[in-house]
Amino acid sequence: MKTEFGIIGLGVMGKSLARNFANNGFSLSLFNRHVDNIEENVATNFINQFSELSNSQGFDNLETFVNSLQTPRKILIMVNAGKAVDMVIDNLLSHIEPGDILIDGGNSHYKKTDKRGQLLSNKGIHFIGMGVSGGEEGALTGPSLMPGGHMDAYKLVEGFLQNIAAKDDNNNPCCKYIGTEGSGHFVKMVHNGIEYAEMQIIAEAYSILRFINKLEPTEIASIFETWNHGDTKNYLLEITIDILKKKEGDTYLIDLILDQSSHKGTGSWTTIASAELGAPFTLSSAALNARFVSALKEKRVTLSQLYEFNENTSLVNVDSLKKAYQLARIINHYQGLDVIENASNTYGWHIDLKNTVSVWTNGCIIASELIKKIISIIETNSNILESDYFVEVIKTSHHSLKDIVLTSLNHNIPIPCFSESLNYLNSVTQESGTGNIIQAQRDYFGTHTYKRKDDPTGPSHHTNWKS
């Protein structure tokens, strides 16, 4: 009997999604490559492990896998981003037919998704680039899904995707059509940029409490537990509480983990994309650079032995730190949404920002009460910094953020995201900035010209600065 849906790639995410589909009543065809003595009978063995997969069929032959599916075929590709995706698509082309739908559920670059979509469209094959957030647990119980591509193709798979997606507070699926071309993967990329900064902000709050206030991890966990309610409640804070409580014997596990953080590329992509669009995403870039610096472990150890700076003795007020934490998060989300809006306008994706943000309310890594608050505001004004609610929060929290930054710097504690959120806020709320000096310098050495204040939309000017 022909099955309803196919999945290629049975890594951690592929397996969890397969079980999710099966738990929602869908019959599946599952494919995993065959590698002698390394990957053999992966799909069949996986099916035999879980009773919910009893209506599934396992394959390591691509042709028989494709032929087992109902037409138009609906195939989710869950392999590593990059060449592996192209290889799978190339191998599928000799077996699939016009009208079939391929879905790339990996973290592919949105420009690659554009090219793949065009290639397949020329052959009559539908292609959807879909961001998937939620990790292994989310994939199994309900992820956040961000599909982009042609609307007609999405409609053919909408029922499948919305059934397995997480549900928001109103029981609506956290799966919404994002827009055309590579918009789904772009939104997931920005999601990851926000995630980078959210993680770094929490790490900085931990560092402040641990190394300035000299608190133990369990004491910090208790403080974070008091934060994890109301507007500051979020998934990443929740998991950090568990992390800080974990011990190995009598030692906190966090103290046994090497302080070198890694990344898989999406943070770099976000920084590059925001630069190409001229839309500042400074917190994400600061978080990315913090990871780069953390990787310099040997250099940091050597330099720490050469330099010893004087420290302040003042402690940080925990209530002020909470306000600073939430204000930094507001700036982070604002910047991410601004990047999405700029991309939508530049590439003609027609992204509905409220729709997009709504899929982040549950099932994803950056799910939070803050996002729910943003949704309630964004319909009337996409610039959340202009809303009455956030204006009041920012005004009452600005002094706290400044105090936290000053105290941390006096203690020589690096806080790239806290300090960058303050820098950005001060810059974006400053009527007169430093751009005039930059333009004058550019005109001096490169004849790049400048505009005048008394005629900002008029002709460009050049000055002979030496005369």
Buried b (16+ CB within 10 A) or exposed e, 45-81: ebbeeeeebeebbbbbebeebbebbeebbbbbbbbeb
Asked about 195 being catalytic, the answer comes back as yes
Q: How many Cα atoms are found within 13 Å in the side-chain-facing hemisphere of 286?
A: 26
Given the residues 188, 323, 372, 373, the one annotated as active site? 188
Q: How many Cα atoms are found within 13 Å in the side-chain-facing hemisphere of 225?
A: 11
Antiparallel, parallel or unpaired: β 126-133 and 144-149: antiparallel
Give the C-alpha distances (Å, rounded to integers) separating 209 from 218, 224, 304, 397, 453.
Answer: 11, 11, 21, 19, 46
Q: How many helices (H) and strands (E) does the chain have?
A: 19, 9
- Angle, helices 266-277/282-294, rounded to nearest 10 degrees: 140
Buried b (16+ CB within 10 A) or exposed e, 103-134: bbbbbbbbebbbebbeebeeeebbbbbbbbbb
Distance CA 22, CA 55 (A): 8
Q: Let me know if 262 is exposed, middle or buried by CB neighbors in 10 A (0-12, 13-18, 19+).
A: exposed
In the 3-class helix/strand/coil scheme, how is 189-215 assigned residue by residue? HHHHHHHHHHHHHHHHHHHHHHHCCCC
Distance CA 2, CA 66 (A): 10
Neighbour tally for 260: CB within 10 Å? 13
Where would I find the H helices in 248-360?
Answer: 266-277, 282-294, 297-304, 318-347, 353-358
Distance CA 209, CA 214 (A): 6
Read off φ and ψ for residue 365, nearest 5 degrees: -65, -30
Q: Which of 425-433's residues contact partners 24+ apart within 8 Å by CB, and which partners? A: 425/327, 425/331, 425/394, 425/398, 425/401, 428/385
Neighbour tally for 229: CB within 10 Å? 9
For residues 113 and 120, the answer to whether their CB atoms sit within 8 Å is: no
Asked about 155 being catalytic, the answer comes back as no
Antiparallel, parallel or unpaired: β 101-104 and 126-133: parallel
Given the residues 195, 198, 204, 420, the one annotated as active site? 195
For residues 148 and 129, the answer to whether their CB atoms sit within 8 Å is: yes
Q: Compute the radius of gyration of the chain from its Cα atoms.
A: 25
**Nearest alpha-carbon partner for 371 in 329, 400, 424, 335:** 329
**Looking at the annotation, which residues are catalytic?**
188, 195
